[in-house]
Amino acid sequence: MGGADEGADEGSVLVGGWTALAGERFALGEGSRLVAGPDGDRVVMVDIPTGRLLVTEPRQVLVELDVPLGAVAPLAGGAGWLAAAGTGIAVLHADGAVEWVDRPEDGNRVSMRMNDGVADPAGRFWAGSMATAQSADAAAGAGSLYRVDPDGSVHRVLDGLTIPNGPAFSADGTLMYLAESTAGVIRRARVDPATGELGPLEEFARVEGGSPDGMAVDAEGCLWSAVHGGGRVDRYAADGALLESLPLPAAQPTSVCLSAEPPYTLLVTSAAQGLRQPGGDDGAVLVAPVRVGGRRADVAARPGG
């Protein structure tokens, strides 16, 4: 276990201290998702640069790709995953086979990779892309947000993004939250659940002292956001008011995941990549008891099937 033991204030949504799960500290742990497993719920995550999909506890590698793996959603029927990986979207079959749906970032003017992604309640898969070299001037605005419909068609729904993270959806699928990490802003848009059409983006929250990263909506309709570089997780009310900031013993939290059944637990992934002198819990998976739960990850429709 790590040395994390930040206590909770009275009235906080956090009701106990942080614990670092035993095992590897990740370069860029991301994309934590609560999914139903053979023996009950489990949390999966990715380590982006090594292309691995893992179970967080007990630690187990499920898939290892030869390209960066940004995020996954469980496929309907439980037979594999829909993944934002490399330069596109792929089905990761239960037997380890990889079937590419589309590679829309092939041939871009700069080197690109897929980043965060998630299924919405209607079974569509939404995933962002970003330039691989963020120091290059050309990286600004090179990214996009894609939507994969159940028929397997892939649509670029937003462009001009730099590092899109999330998205996260309300339980009824009518609201989408999208973090624009380099801009330090979380935006929100209406979604037509029947068609997936996206309404205009509006500013939901502006983040200081770090960059908004992975997000999740809890059972009360509040939005949680990992703040990369800020060493904290923020929780927002549905109107965008900041309810609470939860300090972490890791400088670069990357994603958040809430259990669906009591006693409720918050799990946070983190990254050690880019830190000159990582601490003992940088790159760790951190867990703490909380007062509110979340939802299991929505499942993605099998493209074309």
- Residues designated as active site: 213
- Helix (H, G, I), strand (E, B), or coil: what is residue 110? coil
- Give the distance between the most distant pair of CA atoms in the chain: 53
CB 178 within 8 A of CB 200: no
E strand or H helix at 211:
strand 211-217
- The Cα 251–Cα 287 span in angstroms is 15
Give the span between the Cα atoms of 178 and 164, in whole angstroms.
Answer: 7
CA–CA separation, 130 vs 132, rounded Å?
A: 6
Nearest-5° Cα angle at 250, 57 to 240: 95
Q: What is the sign of the dihedral through the CA atoms of 213, 256, 210 and 277?
A: negative
Question: From CA 80, how far away is CA 75, in angstroms rounded?
Answer: 6
Q: How far is C-alpha 281 from the chain's CA centre?
A: 19
Give the whole-angstrom CA distance, residue 166 versus residue 209: 19
133, HSE (Cβ side, Cα atoms, 13 Å): 7
In this structure, the number of other CB atoms found within 10 A of the CB of residue 72 comes to 30
Alpha carbon of 35 to those of 18, 46, 285: distances in Å? 22, 14, 17
CB 70 within 8 A of CB 63: no
Give the CA count within 13 Å in the CB-facing half-sphere of 93.
7
